[in-house]
Amino acid sequence: MAMHELERINADKQYRQILETREKSDLIIRTLITEARDEGRKEIIQMMLKMGHAPEVIAKFTGLPLNRILVAETEDKIRVPLGPNKVSENSRPFVTAKPIRTRKKV
């Protein structure tokens, strides 16, 4: 029975495309949900830090590792909100880049 179903799936290109599309959309949805949860956790951490709670207390309350709380604390100190969807220039990550070498024209 299972072999017959497998043969049918492999033979039917349109059905296989439907299954692949469904798998991709499921993956996208799971990713969006995970990102939303992470963003919500960040907001909770930042609110608790602003209220004066110690990182150790926040870690115990949220069940997250202490290093994640400390990272969120550092990010919160760097970002300076200017309004909806705007942050200061200090919020950009510091990236060191090698200068681009260009050839001299002869």
Tens digits of per-residue pLDDT, 25-37?
A: 999 999 999 999 8
Residue 63 belongs to a domain: yes
Domain assignment present for residue 94? The answer is no
pTM over 0.85: no
Domain annotation covers residue 22: yes
The answer to whether residue 85 sits within a structural domain is no
* CA–CA separation, 35 and 46 (whole Å): 16
Tokens for 96? 């060191």
Q: What is the tally of structural domains in the chain?
A: 1
Over residues 52-78, the mean pLDDT reads 84
pLDDT of residue 28: 94
Q: Which residues pair with 9 in a beta bridge?
A: none
Structure tokens at 76: 């919160």
pLDDT above 50 for 10 = yes
Confidence (pLDDT) at 22: 92
Could you tell me if residue 38 is inside a domain?
Answer: yes
pLDDT digits (tens, 9 = 90+) for 80-101: 444 455 544 444 444 444 555 5
Does residue 103 lie within any of the structural domains?
Answer: no
